[in-house]
Amino acid sequence: MSSTVERIILAGFGGQGILFLGKVIAETGMNSDKHVSWIPSYGPEMRGGTANCSVIISEHEIASPMVTVPDVVIAMNTPSVSKFNQKIKAGGMLMYNSSLIERQEFRDDIRLVEIPANEIAEELGDQKVASLVMAGAYIKFSKLITLDDILKTLPLMLKGKKQEMLDLNIVALKKGYDYVEEKKYMFGRYVHSVFKGI
């Protein structure tokens, strides 16, 4: 991940909160004075039950908002890995939901980060916040947005919802963030590490 632009594809099946997760990241970027874009899949593929969206956060004006070669793919289910694994930039990162995706030989030139998002969410009592767990994990790696930024944005996005729901989302975020910190990301081989210091 460069320190001036992050191109992300988020994918999963409908109901996993993929589009919302993308919005949280984009909105956080915007509130941190970054340039952002968010493009959802809305085509026939969506009708087949899978959802994905492309998000860019950038220090500079975004010319093309299309993400062809993502720096990061956040995959919530197995079909998402098959669909986007090959597209990730060499040296990029595949962050996947290991509760639903089996560990396998992915690629040896990318960083692999496994997050048992559903298990963590289940411990918190609600599977629905699995996407927020992923958001927290992502933030740990991001060079452009911080945990503080997202904690400021989330209440704005969940305005009108119950306080318990906001609290739960925040806990989920922090769990994801802490999980990455605790694991220190020993797992996975990669060629040129762009994630020094983690």
Partner 1 sequence: MAKVLMKGNEALGEAAILAGCRYYFGYPITPQSELPAYLAKRLPQVDGVFVQAESEVSAINMVYGAASAGARVMTSSSSPGISLKQEGISYIAGAELPCLIVNVMRGGPGLGNINPSQSDYWQATRGGGHGDYRTLVMAPNSVQEMADFTLAAFEYADRFRNPVLMLSDGVLGQMMEPVVMPAPKDYDMDSKKWSLGYTGKDKTARNLCTSIFMGQEELEEHNWSLYQKYQVITDFFKANKDLAVEEYLCDDAEVVLVGYGIISRILKTVVEKCRKRGIKAGLVRPKVLWPFPSDVFAKLADKASKFLVVEMSYGQMVEDVKLAVEGKKPVYFFGRTGGAVPSDFEILNEVDKIVRPD
| Chain positions contacting partner 1, by CB under 8 A | 23, 26-27, 30, 35-40, 42-44, 62-66, 68-69
CB nearer to partner 1: pick between 25 and 76: 25
Q: At its nearest, how many Å lie between partner 1 and the CB of residue 46?
A: 10
CB nearer to partner 1: pick between 35 and 143: 35
Q: At its nearest, how many Å lie between partner 1 and the CB of residue 183?
A: 32
Residues 6+ apart with CB under 8 A from 65: 37, 39, 54, 56
CB nearer to partner 1: pick between 44 and 197: 44
Taking CB atoms within 8 Å and a gap of at least 24, the contacts of 62-69 are 62/35, 62/36, 62/37, 65/37, 65/39, 66/39, 67/7, 67/8, 67/9, 67/39, 69/7
CB nearer to partner 1: pick between 30 and 171: 30
Residues paired with residue 97 on neighbouring β-strands, in sequence order: 115
Q: Compute the distance between CA of residue 59 and CA of residue 48 in angstroms, rounded to an integer.
A: 35
Q: At its nearest, how many Å lie between partner 1 and the CB of residue 42?
A: 5
Q: At its nearest, how many Å lie between partner 1 and the CB of residue 113?
A: 26
Contact in structure between 9 and 84 (CB atoms under 8 Å): yes
